Amino acid sequence: MGKVTNKGLATLISARIKEILTLSGLTITGLAKFAGIGESAIRSYYSRTIPISVETVSKICESLSIVLKDFFDFDKTLSIGTAALPELENFKTKLLQESMNYSQEEETEFVQLPTSTGLKREREYIAYIVKYTDYFDAAKTVAMMLVDFANEYDLELESGRLYELLKKHVDNGTIEKIPTPRVNNDNSVSTKKIFLYKKKS
């Protein structure tokens, strides 16, 4: 997962996506489906964990007839182009009839980052990362997570606490804990093992 280096820009992009969700009446899942973009990618852009590409912005804007340059004019309020409205309404009507959670009438709970504090914040952030981002699509060590979570979510954890938080998601089968040999500094293989955590496919 690419690391976000410009957090100010990432925050503005996240706000734009939220604005588009509100305008369209779609959830992140619905927007991904409508624009033809990976759902986990949009979740990551929204949660400010990876940078968004101009190509992806273009797909979102094109699907809703939004002028591309307006997306990046953060002082300007966006509006959905009239050309996109019939298709958008048909899309929402069809999915509502099929009872699929792509419309905000059906599902709204996941579009906000956790706002709690203390131990509850730690639990909710780990649950958010596991469920709504692509972070665990690639295997991660605890050492990697400690650095990434501190940098990207301002989530400072001790390794023991992180093991405890991950255990719930391992036990319920959301992610798997994979033992792997530890490689020493001299490239020899240690008898001790380390664990990699990865979302189950």
Per-residue pLDDT of the chain (201 residues; tens, 9 = 90+): 444 457 788 889 989 998 998 899 888 888 888 999 888 788 888 877 778 888 999 999 999 999 999 999 999 999 999 999 999 988 887 766 665 555 554 444 444 556 667 888 888 889 888 887 888 988 999 999 998 888 777 788 999 999 999 999 999 999 999 998 887 777 777 778 889 999 987
Question: 118-199 is classed in which CATH architecture?
Answer: Orthogonal Bundle (1.10)
Contact 173, 112 (CB under 8 A): no
**Nearest-CA neighbor of 42 among 61, 26, 28?**
28
d(CA 99, CA 108): 14
Start and end residues for every CATH 1.10.260.40 domain found in the chain: 7-97
CATH topology of domain 7-97: 434 Repressor (Amino-terminal Domain) (1.10.260)
